[in-house]
Homo-oligomer: A and B are copies of this chain.
Amino acid sequence: MQLIADHIAHAYGPLPVLDDISFTVGPGEVVAIVGPSGCGKSTLLRILGGLEKPQAGRALVAGAPPAASLNPLTFVFQDFALLPWRTVEGNVRLVLEGHGLSQAVVAETIRDVLARTGLTDFARAYPKQLSGGMRQRVGIARALAARPAVLLMDEPLSALDAQTRELLMDDLVELVSGEGSAEALGMVYVTHNLDEAVRLADRILVLSRRPGRVRETVTVAGDRRARRSDDPELVRRARELWELIRADAAEADRELADVETING
């Protein structure tokens, strides 16, 4: 299944936040989205996932999702969005309920995704009892459990330390390529971490400051399974990306652009 952003534009009241965004992502592909804070990245993901109606343009899908997929377009939310009254396990179970899965399959899926996110010991803890990074991992575990065709990830590793992040990125790489029995999946990956972007993405969309517009699309070539974080080539690409962004930053210092304010 392919997910297609077709000239998407959006505004909140007088505040334009997205301007003419188009791209495609299919199985085995990762599109990373980087851009300044408040430029509309989360809004774009919501539109792609059908949670918000764009003011112009459309989010489209082409092709059928894999039969086993419980929820073809699956989010990892920036603010986690965990149910505080369910345990870690219960939060994951939420997305498995109502699909007629057997008890055994449900239990096995939960066991698997909690193990992958290092939460096995905290299966019965409530969100309130978790650290920030653990909450974020519950959000990831839940998304994995839904067997998505396209994952819409909003800064999914932002609260994690470098080593946990490494491990989870390895996991994501496997997922995307469809290692083992699983099918390959697509991923839209919003991040502010350029290292993550070059490590994971096939294409990196660099958005301008609000209203977010695609300033550049950077292609990262080569098998992502072969990439290593300390690969000098990747480090160089990340530095390049950074220069690109910094130029934009210098251009318009701070958020004093002449946009309509949201005030009043």
Q: How far is the CB of A150 from chain B (nearest CB, A)?
A: 21
A2 to B76, CA, bound (A): 41
Q: A42-B132, A159-B158, A249-B167 are in contact. Are A256 and B120 (CB under 8 A)?
A: yes
Q: A163-B245, A192-B161, A194-B162 are in contact. Are A121 and B37 (CB under 8 A)?
A: no
- At the interface, yes or no: A119 with Cβ under 8 Å from chain B? yes
Residue from B34, B36, B159 within 8 A of A192 (CB atoms) = B159
Q: A132-B42, A132-B78, A254-B115 are in contact. Are A163 and B122 (CB under 8 A)?
A: no
Residue from B118, B125, B162, B165 within 8 A of A255 (CB atoms) = B118
A256 to B121, CA, bound (A): 7
- At the interface, yes or no: A83 with Cβ under 8 Å from chain B? no
A36–B262 CB distance below 8 A: no
A166 to B254, CA, bound (A): 11
Q: How far is the CB of A263 from chain B (nearest CB, A)?
A: 4
A262 to B124, CA, bound (A): 7
For A133, list chain B residues within 8 Å (CB): 37-38, 192
B246–A37 CB distance below 8 A: no
- At the interface, yes or no: A248 with Cβ under 8 Å from chain B? yes
- At the interface, yes or no: A29 with Cβ under 8 Å from chain B? no
The number of chain A residues with a CB under 8 A from chain B is 56
A78 to B29, CA, bound (A): 32
A33 to B130, CA, bound (A): 19
Nearest neighbor of A254 in chain B, beta-carbon distance? B118
Task: Please list the residues of chain A having a beta carbon within 8 angstroms of any beta carbon in chain B.
Answer: 12, 34-38, 41-42, 78-79, 115, 118-125, 129-134, 137, 154-155, 158-167, 192-194, 230, 239, 242, 245-246, 248-249, 254-256, 259, 261-264
Give 10 CB contacts A-B under 8 Å. Answer: A34-B161, A36-B161, A36-B163, A42-B131, A79-B132, A121-B259, A122-B262, A161-B245, A162-B192, A162-B245
